Amino acid sequence: MIELMDVRKAFNQGRHNELWAVRGVSLQVPAQQVTVLRGPSGSGKTTLLTLVGCLARPTSGRVRLHGRDVSGMTERFLTGLRRQTFGFVFQQFNLVRGLTVEQNVMLPAYPLGLTRRDLRRRAHGLLESLDLAEHAQARVEWLSGGQAQRAAIARALVNDPDVILADEPTANLDTELSRRFLDIVRDLKAQGKTLLMTSHDPLICQAPEVDLVVGLRDGQLD
């Protein structure tokens, strides 16, 4: 469903500090499966994830979604994709400080113009399933690492996206919590979601839930 064709990404192009983070990657991310991008730090995993999730455009090459080339689309269109097709779980979670867990979870749904009641119903369903219901009114800065990640996952799911993108999801978790994360991954896969993660954690890469591991080094596939 997601297809990368000879994708390249340069930072600071044309300047003395020009850097090619991704150098010609072609890849198919299978639908409703779990794919992991594995590679050492600085190999371009995060950059590749931003290109898939339409957070940035490739310098050259194509990104196709459902057979449609999205790399040349308007910013408005890409924003719509980020809102409806993708759910992001950032490495540092990027919850908005000062807001409650519930408010954070509802944030991506604000532009939809739903009523507050509908918003809260959605948020609570997700928090319930992720075991966070009792923290719904807690401010996010009071959460533990595992709780913060689950709040971030709930936020990624609130608009019911087809694709979940997670950057180093277990980097801040101990083994126990990492296993818990894999349980969630299994549930999401069972619901028919497509998952794409970056990781160099063997626990993730060798997990039975993972269907495909793609190696990356110096911006190219291994």
Partner 1 sequence: MTPWLQRQRHLIDFTVEALARRKGRNLALLVVYALMVFVLASVLLFSQALRREAALLLAQAPEITVQRLVAGRMDLVPAAHLERLAGLRGVASAQGRLWGYYYDPATQANYTLMVPLTDPPPPGTMQVGPTLARFWRLGVGDVLSLRTHDGRAFPLSVQGILPTDSALVAADLVLIAEADFRAFFGIPAGLYTDLVLKVRNPREVAKVAQKVQRDLPDTRPIIREEILRTYAALFDWREGMVMVLLSGAVLAFMILAWDKASGLSAEERREIGVLKAIGWETSDILAMKLWEGLLVSVFAFLLGYLAAYVHVAAFSASLFVPVLKGWSVLYPDFALTPQVDPFQVFTLFFLTVFPYALATLVPVWRSAVADPDAVMRQ
Q: Which helix (H) or strand (E) holds 194?
A: strand 194-198
Q: Which stretch binds partner 1 (CB under 8 A): 25-33, 62-70, 109-117, 177-185?
A: 109-117
Cβ contact 2:29 at 8 Å: yes
Cβ contact 9:47 at 8 Å: yes
Q: Which stretch binds partner 1 (CB under 8 A): 30-38, 63-71, 98-106, 201-209?
A: 98-106
Least distance CB 213 / partner 1 (angstroms): 21
Residue whose token pair is 């198919």: 28
Q: Which helix (H) or strand (E) holds 41?
A: none
Integer angstrom CA distances of residue 106 from 55, 141, 186 = 20, 17, 24
Q: Which stretch binds ligand ADP (CB under 6 A): 41-49, 117-125, 126-134, 138-146?
A: 41-49
Identity of the residue, 130 or 164, whose beta carbon is nearer to Mg ion in the bound complex: 164
Helix axes 175-190, 145-157, angle to 10 degrees: 10
Give the neighbor-by-neighbor strand order of the sheet with 68-69.
Answer: 19-29, 2-11, 60-65, 68-69
Least distance CB 53 / ligand ADP (angstroms): 13
Identity of the residue, 19 or 96, whose beta carbon is nearer to ligand ADP in the bound complex: 19
Least distance CB 219 / ligand ADP (angstroms): 7
135 belongs to the binding site for partner 1 (CB under 8 A): no
| Residues near ligand ADP, by CB under 6 A | 11-12, 19, 21, 39, 41-47
| Residues near Mg ion, by CB under 5 A | 46
